[in-house]
Chains A and B, each alone.
Chain A
């Protein structure tokens, strides 16, 4: 195979930062080429250089595409050559139809007017190519994220794409949609489209790529070929972090105490679709010092369960009981949930977790401002500074000072701010929704360590995650949800990815060895629980 794209000696400098330093990338014609690296390693910057977002002249180095040296002045130039980039945040116009979106900026026109017949007909052809069974006139806002992703790819195909760049294409997709997308990439490959894929999901890279280039701190570390070398996920991680990660999950021996929270027969209806049950008769218990996982595919109702428990911040017509420390409580608002010692760190920290225009310290104090008030009811700014600075040091938040604006921090550091906020609020039960989403490997380890510390401090932690290895690596017990129901619960020693996946994909409560009911009614001596997880470490 010959080389279709060669980027040589690319150096890109922003004021004060060298984002890319002498980066080299070679992509062979017709291959799927993965780019890996921690957040901030320079992956997105490199792709922006390639696609002309950063025009020729704003960087050093040379781009050769299909044998010709390129000097793109903007995205239009690169698209004219068949280089199309699909960004992580989808760039579709929600109120327009699929066909309108596909040909947006590239309209099918006849005599100055849009040729709707041709627009919709060509769109239908493209949809067939990407395997999306939808009417071209359907509104994009009616589609799920996975289907929208396919529309993006159809749009790229309409531009006669030869090199397709996908930035974290599966980050927001569930496993089914991800699988379909990866299949589609293999299909495109056979049609001669070359793909560059940026991803944090190493298992997908392993499954689909022909080769992988690893970036670290703005430099090329190495390019590995899956066909000629034996490339493992650990090998890639080693390249990304520059050190051996013997354990991706920190050691932890839990001390599990008595039950702190019990949710019984919890049913929640959708606020937008009348009569749709989003959570259906869920039961779950959390004990002090315990880290409990909640697994499920997208749409299983995990976030909805968590948020509805958290002061009814989601859902309507909620029924069921919440028992906290042996007493039934009624939570009508988030404020009451926090007062009763329940915290919830959202899966979408940028949209729901942080005030991005405000600084670190004010974000940390946001959920427990009353603790900083003096006798006169005034917030003490100096105390606030001290508290925030303590968390900055403890949590290793990388920022010049706690007066730095949170919008400028990296994902991992933003997540640490969110965790600090909840640690300061000091709840007995902390629900963490996708705590490591979009965070690089090194920071993940730190987050796991913090979760362990929270459990050691006697808190019950409920972790919602789409990454099964993560749940198996850090949790003492894992619940599985499917279609709004809790379909089972597995103790750490019986939890395997296969067993969990079975529970996550089943339609009804499964009679596995241990179901939710059994665990609920089994008294749990602390000693026994202590003994289990130690040998378990290796398996996960």
Chain B
């Protein structure tokens, strides 16, 4: 549910101690992105006469954008730490190619091939992490080189041709749906819907509300400022409406896509890593002021190294998902994916100077671009116009961020 309904996510997994004193001010900046997302969804739904939010299209939106969203999770951590990764698209291609060679040419069992591919991704990340963290080269240069190197490796591995088809299980991960466990129920005028999906959706909403309620209660107990009960209820109601709305559409179409399950796990897990673990907090500290982080005992090199390894792992996962979706690994796979992932992170509120950003924000940023892509193609817009709009959205989002920061007067 998380990837579809970011507003709810911001409330559940990221029960961030963002700040009571500045809560409202921050909220405007932080929730601006969610409001923008909602506005874009509504706009395109109206323009497409409801085509955007049909059961099939909602499902497509998730499946189509899943690999960018997986990349965006890794990218946001790198950007928070004040670095950048331009090689992600090439790493997607090379890991997809590796998995194809293993599964298709060598007929390796798919779980083993998947593990080897992920290890290859980690090794690629370690290579880049070494140069950035320990050798001290700018990530921009290291990953620009990586972009060329790993594209070249892709072509070498593939012998300059596409390799496929993939085993059914891998294709299921990319494009398949969970099986129907409890059968269908009738939803009156909406027709039949999968019962299991609906149950999962209701449980997710209940869990989210419970987590939020506990966080709010704890805040009040410690005398911190918390939002009023009415505002809280309104937010929860809105969250439930959005999540359940998406869930119902998915249930009416087929069921939960497997990639959505994967994404949900990743988003929840990485949100926790970013906001609550010592490692995650060190990533923010490094991005905010690297020298101060060093003098506070943060192992800056080690942390930097591992966020690149992490990026490699996520790129490998994205590589397999993407190859599975196309049912073949091609030499041009993943072209410009890194730019989409970077744009997602910045649209989602990451700061150009590092130290700021959220996993859920990056996911929302990715979805904004996904909805624009999807909505405009439903409208029959040519690709150059889609590109134009995406470019301007990116510019506007970062300009807004810089403007808001200047107004807040956090002089640096």
Contact = CB atoms under 8 A, between A and B. Distances in A.
A358 B284 contact: yes
Given A367-B297, A378-B277, A354 B224 contact: no
Contacts, number: 118
A247 interface: no
Contacts of A377: 277-278
A408 interface: yes
B296 A367 contact: yes
Interface in A337-390: 337-338, 344, 346, 351-359, 361-362, 366-367, 369-370, 373, 377-379, 381-382, 384-386
B230 interface: no
A14 to B, nearest CB: 10
A106 interface: no
A404 interface: yes
Contact of A357 (B23, B297, B298, B355): B355
A384 B23 CA distance: 17
Contacts of B291: 351-352
Interface stretch (B12-20, B194-202, B203-211): B12-20
Contact of B297 (A334, A362, A400, A407): A334
B411 interface: yes
A358 B295 contact: no
Given A357-B356, A384-B17, A335 B299 contact: yes
A362 B355 CA distance: 12
Give the most central of B355, B409, B410, B412: most A CB within 10 Å.
B410
Given A351-B291, A352-B291, A382-B222, A401 B19 contact: yes
Given A334-B296, A386-B222, A358 B20 contact: no
B284 A313 contact: no
Interface residues of B, number: 42
Interface string A383-425: 0111000000000000011011101100000000000010001
Interface of A: 310-311, 313, 333-335, 337-338, 344, 346, 351-359, 361-362, 366-367, 369-370, 373, 377-379, 381-382, 384-386, 400-401, 403-405, 407-408, 421, 425
Interface centre among B225, B282, B284, B353 (most CB of A within 10 A): B284
Contacts of A421: 296
B106 interface: no
Which 7 residue pairs across A and B have the least CB separation, nearest first?
A: A403-B19, A355-B288, A381-B17, A401-B21, A338-B297, A378-B276, A367-B296
A500 B37 CA distance: 66
Contacts of A310: 295
B293 interface: yes
A335 B225 CA distance: 35
B224 A385 contact: yes
Contacts of B21: 400-401, 403-404
B381 interface: no
Contacts of A379: 276-278, 281
B338 to A, nearest CB: 25
Interface string B276-320: 111001101100110111111111000000000000000000000
A401 B20 CA distance: 8
